[in-house]
Chains A and B, each alone.
Chain A
């Protein structure tokens, strides 16, 4: 089983930005397209370590994780992606809500 760990702050940034790539650096779209999606395509399990980032704005979360569910489907995302985030319950809840909402939209 092929596995990869993404250290968000080391490989991407500690200050996530907005939704789209053209709106500025470190956007949700940039993270999804350049790091998260290729990692999921090439591995059976991706552990995403989000610890250390300042926070995660709603637009970033929606574009990075929500659109991923739209593209790959809920089952694949939940099976292949494991998110590790401690000390930011607000962001944890936002990510979980976003995944649920996009999954419900796709059903």
Chain B
């Protein structure tokens, strides 16, 4: 006669109980490890971006935030509010990132192409290093049109529904890259040549300016020592727009590097006269560099790229070049002396805007 274990049922239930306990312990350990990893990631990001001050150690529940846009987002006409917005946006999404940020476009009534380009760039970086971004289509038609046309929605799975009705503006999809690519500049210029009737010299000057911008980004904008983990190295963003009604054309170029004034003070610190470095503020240095180039004794043949930025607008009476970098904003026109403004906030990077009106 075959007999089973005397207390078979009891042993079986004890084994199940042990298994359940082990499973619960494993789950708990996994959860703790995951939470530790998230805490470490946040702390590491925070320390790397804000250089110390680990007093704000992240140990909080899942956090959802909502962005608050100003009515007008424009780096030329509404610089202060636009800068404040982007600094707050960076704080929420990159420096002290929430787990999820809802990009609420409902308050936004006007957005300029340059601000739209920076919005794309900052959102791309935040999505890469910071937090998850969510959003919806802009209720304002002109804003919706711009963001749709330049490809903003496609970044965040918001490309749903019908495209907005045309409002007279023609926008080209923005481009981004991490190489100095002459073909990108040529393709952009070719598209505009058909509508803007660029002459040969104008197209060449624009080509030089764009390639020089890309080259400067790769050479100077992202020095390894000065950059934290929260950067997309050597990345630039480029956008060309045309408004047929006003015959206005603009090209915007943006990078998230250290800014031109800092580059001048660090890369050319041995070449520029000490008096010049100490006595001149960022705006004056910037204006001098764009108008005359950076003469140096050590590498006296370098530093000639910045005047190429202005070379394009010199062909037009209505041309305007706006440089927003670090805490400086400089406006160059063909017929007036450059205007400079010291900004309260700081733009992390350099934004270059060429605008001109075609009189044909």
Complex alpha-carbon distance, A19 and B211, angstroms: 10
Complex alpha-carbon distance, A49 and B185, angstroms: 22
Query: Would you call A18 and B211 a contact (CB within 8 A)?
Result: yes
Query: Would you call B200 and A87 a contact (CB within 8 A)?
Result: yes
* B182: chain A residues within 8 A (beta carbon): 13, 15-17, 26, 54, 57
* A15: chain B residues within 8 A (beta carbon): 182-183, 185-186
Closest to B179 in A: A24
* B311: chain A residues within 8 A (beta carbon): 90
Determine which of A23, A25, A60 lies in contact with B219 in the assembled complex, contact meaning CB atoms within 8 Å: A23
Q: Is residue A59 contacting chain B, with contact meaning CB distance below 8 A?
A: yes
Number of residues in A with C-beta < 8 Å to the partner? 30
Complex alpha-carbon distance, A11 and B185, angstroms: 20
* B200: chain A residues within 8 A (beta carbon): 87-88
* B308: chain A residues within 8 A (beta carbon): 57-58
Determine which of B179, B183, B186 lies in contact with A23 in the assembled complex, contact meaning CB atoms within 8 Å: B179
Closest to A91 in B: B204
* A91: chain B residues within 8 A (beta carbon): 204
* A87: chain B residues within 8 A (beta carbon): 200
Query: Would you call A55 and B301 a contact (CB within 8 A)?
Result: no
Q: Is residue B300 contacting chain A, with contact meaning CB distance below 8 A?
A: yes
Q: Is residue B123 contacting chain A, with contact meaning CB distance below 8 A?
A: no
A sample of 30 cross-chain residue pairs with beta-carbon separation below 8 angstroms, ordered by A number, consists of A13-B182, A15-B183, A17-B181, A18-B211, A18-B212, A18-B215, A20-B219, A23-B179, A23-B214, A24-B218, A25-B179, A25-B181, A26-B182, A54-B182, A54-B186, A54-B207, A55-B204, A55-B208, A56-B208, A58-B305, A59-B212, A59-B219, A62-B302, A87-B200, A91-B204, A98-B301, A101-B300, A101-B301, A102-B301, A105-B301
Q: Which residues of B contact A (CB under 8 A)?
A: 179-183, 185-186, 200-201, 203-205, 207-208, 211-212, 214-215, 218-219, 300-302, 304-305, 308, 311
Which 9 pairs, one residue from A and one from B, show the smallest C-beta to C-beta distance? A18-B215, A18-B180, A15-B182, A24-B179, A55-B204, A24-B180, A23-B218, A57-B211, A55-B207
Q: Which residues of A contact B (CB under 8 A)?
A: 13-20, 23-27, 54-60, 62, 66, 87-88, 90-91, 98, 101-102, 105
In the complex, besides A15-B185, A62-B304, 10 extra interface pairs with C-beta distance below 8 angstroms are A17-B181, A23-B180, A23-B214, A23-B215, A24-B179, A26-B182, A27-B180, A56-B208, A57-B308, A101-B301
